[in-house]
A and B are shown apart, each in its own frame.
Chain A
């Protein structure tokens, strides 16, 4: 019977086009990009081989370290906050609102479908100081404070980026984690309650261990997505003030397309890829070890 499902011609016709496009536009450029990392120049000036010079430059480049620092801080802070708040929300959906949480879930989820550029422009105006006073500064002035130039200070700009992404994504993570929580069997919770577990203890001993797998995958998704942050930063602060909020992705884009350094740009892109891989493997292994230890 496997003869039918092993029809080579059909397999070729079905898989061929997808594999061809994927290979030509993803696989080949990835390999091609690796060759760029050992060269200097761009298609207009021509390329010269320069060995590991791009990597040496990268590790000596203060702007690159600044970008790595921002990328890591942003990814870690946002991941902890969005998965943490998402988890609290999902606990609220399941244990507090229970039935009827559908509407709340749906409303808090919606910003994730909106274009980042539009939201970023809106947040710029929300936090604007001059010429028009945005709602946030207007409220500060109402309570007797002075308007703050949020985008003029690195720390303030950083937190606005975090705040906007939280606004966008907390409902999304809440729904993702909610799916894991509703899978916990009711009788399990009920029997734990009969055994005297309640409140915090119930969460810690029953709910948390059982939702660990979905928490883990949320962490991986979040780290993977936040390390690649681009739209938010480009549209909200464009990396400023100075280069205080420039992540690796934006630094790569500027290096490649503003300054035309294809070799160095590819090196930065490769570093970003390695960073994504390292973090995924790291989270995966560390949580796996924990699980086996706790039995």
Chain B
């Protein structure tokens, strides 16, 4: 008896002001390819994204591999079994190379293989070290599709693969290759839920579902997927992934560091340090202000992941990478420099306070950014209106540290 890898039980989903899907129940078992096929706006992408826990549900519950992953009470749990996901908007970060993005996926699966043969099949082997941002739209789509298929390609156990319009933007040969992969992975026991209009992908289906009923179909035959040589990969770590993104893109410096240094420069342009000798409160405020301003610029990794719905891709698969290490370093550097300038000495407690100020402020702003991520236009919302509350605790810290001058 085949395992049920995905189960929707009486699910109701709202998008905008309408109910897109109502009382929807269905299952995808290992060895099945279920294609969601219907007119535009009927809810195909909604089903895929809800199965990946990206969208909330109004009623019912969804399970993966028998584990509850989301229900209408707001409970959400990451599946302990990795699954593959290809979103319509790719979910890629332009600053990653092809190899880096696919290595991220493999580290989430804790297994790795030699990617060269697979990349060659999609004519990407010569581009594996190129930045995703430098690829054409079609090449980026191929990367997104490969990342979606990888959990099945590197696993002996059945895996669930969710593909939203995978054919979109692919050339003829890539679609043929994708069809072959779907068939061979199905025969190896993996399960697919695919939203598509493409006839070639439709032919791979064991069932076609138009959201109201299922139609069984005889799928094509093919060769069973041969598992390549696998080895264990270091598990993905959100802290190190965030650090790596930050270091690679210098986002922390561009987003936060420059603001801190600008603040320091502006302060120096207004006053000579010796003029503050008798103004202890002001002096300490000047020392900690650059670190504070740097923190107010928010989490640079969260900003980075906003492109192409990469944030949704990460949140669906694993914990969201965050910037922790670089903000601490930024705060440390800014406070050290401002201490030398305004205090003419280095006090460890002041430098620690500056480092923590940058970290805590950037984490809080990042939290606010994440909380508005589900909006249609998250960049248009005035989230920074809520940041002035941070001035109060900052001023309390400044007052407390005056004793150390």
- A and B together in one complex: no
